[in-house]
Chain A
Amino acid sequence: SQKIEQNSEALNIQEGKTATLTCNYTNYSPAYLQWYRQDPGRGPVFLLLIRENEKEKRKERLKVTFDTTLKQSLFHITASQPADSATYLCALPPRAGNNRKLIWGLGTSLAVNP
């Protein structure tokens, strides 16, 4: 079955540095991959989607890469700010069929220190 792995250890970085989070997947080739942000006590919020034929996607200070050979996506936050502190989740579509349930990673907690 499909499996997603995200860094389980929290990432602590200094304000202004670039944060890089990893999402690895196995056992299939998804048509796209999504990244969400979740703050404590709130539901996840969609950030970016990258398709299998896109190597890189940018949105303001966010950049996502998608390496279908490595089966990996990297999520970068440049010029990080304390307000970027949150848990970041990656999600992939199901392998096939009419089932449209996303498959979720467990998330990586990011803390940006002032």
Chain B
Amino acid sequence: GAGVSQSPSNKVTEKGKDVELRCDPISGHTALYWYRQSLGQGLEFLIYFQGNSAPDKSGLPSDRFSAERTGGSVSTLTIQRTQQEDSAVYLCASSPTSGATDTQYFGPGTRLTVL
């Protein structure tokens, strides 16, 4: 596609429910990142996929968070038993790794609100 897409754009859920957030990266990009951004805060790294390598999960805040990337393309971030502190904008970015730099192309984000 023309850019990174994410769905849904907004998600309101009740505390304790599970949510799935989807990211479609730019076609051909081998690297995919998930970030979280709370209001007025910086980007918080969550997880990073690079090709067929094991993902870097070092930023996941708890075991309620997980992500997968199927076929080296689409990725899903799952949050189980959501808590109010999970409310934030979840951003996905992809990056081509054929070059020597790592410019990241971001999607519009999913705004998650946990009531």
Contact = CB atoms under 8 A, between A and B. Distances in A.
Nearest to A107: B42
Name the prevailing secondary structure of the A interface residues.
loop
Contact of A43 (B42, B102, B107): B107
A96 B45 CA distance: 18
Which of the four size classes fits the interface of chain B? 20 to 34
Contact of B56 (A89, A93, A101): A101
Contacts of A107: 42
Contacts, number: 55
Interface residues of A, number: 22
A99 B109 contact: no
Interface string B22-60: 000000000101000000011101001010010010000
Given A100-B31, A100-B95, A106-B41, 18 more contacts: A41-B109, A42-B108, A42-B109, A43-B4, A43-B108, A44-B43, A44-B104, A45-B106, A46-B103, A46-B104, A49-B101, A89-B43, A99-B48, A100-B97, A100-B102, A102-B102, A102-B104, A104-B45
